[in-house]
A and B are shown apart, each in its own frame.
Chain A
Amino acid sequence: MSAAPVLGRHPATLAPASADARGDALEAGGQKRFVVAFLASCLGALAIVLAFNVVIDPYALAGTGIVPTAVEPDRSIKLDLLQNLKRGPQLLIMGSSRSRQAEPAYLQKLTGLRGFNAGVTGGTSADEYVFARFAADLFPHQRRRYIWFTDIGLAGGGVLPQLAQDPRARRYLRGGARFGLGDVKSYLSTDATKASWRVFEKCVLGSCRSHIRFNADGSLTNQSLHYLPEHAKSLQAAVAKELAGVRAHHETLAQARRDLEAPGRFFYFDRALAFMNSRGEVPVIVLNPVYPTVLAALNRYGFPGRRATLEMVAKLHRRFRFVFVDAENIRTWGGNARDWSNATHINRGNMRTLLRYVVAHSDGALR
């Protein structure tokens, strides 16, 4: 067995007794410099990366606000739009970026109800709670219907800083989102650094124009559809990447159940449902569609996340009134495998088909 440390000396001449004292002293000095240089470059590089990411703040976690974020500031824009409405929306569409393709105008044709799309990038239960409360405070005497798009897992307990930083939203939220240790981790990552670099190129070296625009009813303008960040260059490649992710990281049912029971996860979800029910409103909760081959891959592993989610839906049904529409499988609502932006986001054509299905299966909640 060879046990030959390496630094500076050849393994064969390692024995300290063989080196003269002067050589050893010189070597020790060199090694000290090596350690100092190592620590300086390692910690220095990490500090520079962290500082760069905090200054650029691509995910709006630090709230520096020096340059626009890589995340669209659509929460504040949609709060503005909602505030500017002359007549309150009778139907509120809520959810993440996956709900943004829903057009209130199209829904009005189907239901006769005037709608507003409050779906936001990376939307969580806190966003939905805030929009429901804000709309109710703006237009207090109006009964509202809701189409609430959710993913597997239903709820997320977190409040994104983009939401917490808006004073109109902050009053509905507990505590304040602060830049914490978790955010330091995020901002030390290569992903955040790439995002920062993109923002830096676009907004510091370039003119920094966003192509995403919204209509007064919160829907995306037709031109914006070409610039959506989720719009993959190749749908096939995006699906292949998603499939690789599914195959590499599949969870067990116990893990999926444990995730759903994480403390605080359903805090805003429960509050939103309780708030709506207290006003006599019954939301329609839609489980977002999954690309067919990705769904097939998930099913091959038993899809424990889905099972745990459906168990949770059954539990929630005992406490709250809501209609649940499972749209995960596109075959159930007649969707197609072509009209997708990437493996998780459907396009407008599919969304219209889905909305028709949701309205037809809403048990009168959208009347």
Chain B
Amino acid sequence: MLFNSYSFLFGFLPSVLLGWWGLARWKSVRLAFLTGASWFFYAWWDWRYLPVLILATTIDYIAGLWIARIEDETRRRLLLTVSLTTNIGILAYFKYAGFFLGSLEGVGKAVGLGAQLPSLHVVLPIGISFYTFNSMSYTIDVFRRRIEPTRNALEYTTFVGLFPHLIAGPIVRFTDLAGQLRRLTPKLTAEQASLGAFFLSCGLVKKLLIADRLHPYVAQLYASHAHLGLLTGWAAAVGYSLQLYFDFSGYSDMAVGLAFLLGFRFPQNFNSPFKAENISDFWRRWHMSLSTWFRDYLFIPLGGSQRGPRRTVVNLVVTMFLAGLWHGAAWTFVVWGLVHGTFLGGHAVLRRLGLTPPSVTVNRIVTFMLVCGAFVIFRSPSLPVAGDILSAMAGFRGLDGAARLHALLPVEFGVLIASLLVFVNVAPNTWQVRIRPRVVDGLATGLAAAIAVMTISQPHPFIYFQF
């Protein structure tokens, strides 16, 4: 079920809100109801993968309790290993097994071994990368004694399964929700309702009126990758970067809005990433819940930036390599991660040497161009396709003729890109907007939501659902 569908907006959501706030007196019943609703939401996509979610939740819940209870360090480590192995095992089987077998076979063929490996055609359960990371952060934090595990199983099932973040994040930590789950909001306040409505509307507008509008143009450009010139190459790169931003930040806004409507508060996931002044700043602003996850559970344990410049660069590349692989089992994601790792490492070195440009504008433009170029690799179905587009952007394919411009870069697309570029560089993001609680603002927000809803004829899934 998509957030941007009639069945969700006019069926599932009102029913859940009625049930959740109607059961406000009974905490356990409420949590059971919300867990059940979230599992139903998940099973709507494919019920056969619900047991995978329940299995991961159960193992991590029990592991969390035992890790906290046991004092013996070896046994604690063993339990943590069981928990992590379960989550990574689930990810490895569903997400990466086919990719690794395929790659292994490719390597085998390259060195002259003709043996055919069994091919795996496993359907990727939706949201698997998100809920396994939610769950892993819990057991790691319990192991590090940063949090107390919950003894209430329903609190934990709600934390992992909560439908606003279940499919595509933000990757919420238990620390973010523990207090909120322990003391559930008894009544929907006007502030929560208005924030919920505002965030949900912003998300709908971003997804339905902007990202989905960019989609056909971008799809056409990437399909014509072999015929792009300088301008159309950049249009493909910038168009997709904007589409991805509005799609994913739209989803995140909706998730935050839905959480508010349920009385929860989620962390911010995007903070105007295209205003970033360097690549490191970009990663503090883009998909913040994932970047902080990798920072806290991988980069810092590897030594972070405390073990000298060379080790810092290695740690950054390793972290971003795995962040790339997290996005998907394909070489394009691996290379995208490595490219970002190289960018981050390069920036760390330049900053240390004092060679970064002093001009904020230059820094922002360079960062934006690097990010857009890397997103070409992220979006392309294969590395040769990305190569085609990147060489067009570099000018190796020449300028575009009038006929090509007419077919691939129509005026409305050009105007849309230009306006959105101004918007992302100048306008405040959803979390910064100071909307006054006035009737006229409520009317305008409601009208914007209604216009967005009217465009749901063929809902497009969110891009990040595939991860």
List the interface of chain A (C-beta within 8 A of B).
1-8, 10-11, 27-46, 49, 185-186, 188-191, 193, 240, 243-245, 247-248
Contacts and interface: CB of A to CB of B under 8 A. Distances in A.
Q: By CB atoms of chain A within 10 A, which of B215, B224, B443 has the most?
A: B443
Contacts of A189: 454-457
B446 A7 contact: no
B451 to A, nearest CB: 8
Interface in B401-447: 407, 430-447
Nearest to B443: A41
B431 A6 contact: yes
Would you call the interface of chain A mostly helix, strand, loop, or mixed? helix
A27 to B, nearest CB: 6
B193 interface: yes
A42 B453 CA distance: 9
B265 interface: yes
Contacts of B171: none
Contacts of A10: 434
B380 interface: no
Interface string B44-87: 00000000000000000000000000000000000000000000
B450 interface: yes
Contacts of A30: 436-438
Contacts of B441: 34, 37
Contacts of B219: 244, 247-248
Nearest to A27: B437
Contact of B434 (A6, A32, A39): A6
11 contacts: A5-B431, A6-B435, A11-B431, A27-B191, A34-B437, A38-B442, A44-B446, A45-B451, A185-B6, A188-B454, A247-B223
B198 to A, nearest CB: 6
Contact of B292 (A1, A37, A40, A186): A1
B194 interface: yes
Given A8-B437, A37-B446, A3 B268 contact: yes
A41 B447 contact: yes
Given A30-B437, A240-B407, A248-B220, A42 B268 contact: no
B216 interface: yes
B270 to A, nearest CB: 11
Interface string B104-148: 000000000000000000000000000000000000000000000
Contacts, number: 153
A34 B446 CA distance: 9
A8 B435 contact: yes
B353 interface: no
A37 B442 contact: yes
B370 to A, nearest CB: 24
Contact of B430 (A6, A31, A40): A6
Contacts of A188: 6, 453-454, 456
A49 B451 CA distance: 10
B454 A190 contact: yes
B15 interface: no
B267 interface: yes
Given A6-B432, A37-B439, 13 more contacts: A3-B268, A4-B432, A7-B191, A10-B434, A28-B190, A34-B190, A35-B194, A36-B442, A38-B449, A42-B453, A45-B447, A46-B453, A190-B457
A31 B441 CA distance: 10
Contacts of B223: 247
A36 B441 CA distance: 11
Most chain B CB within 10 A, of A35, A43, A45, is at A35
Contacts of A244: 216-217, 219-220
Contact of B198 (A6, A46, A185): A6
A164 to B, nearest CB: 23
A2 B268 contact: yes
A200 B436 CA distance: 38
Interface string B358-393: 000000000000000000000000000000000000
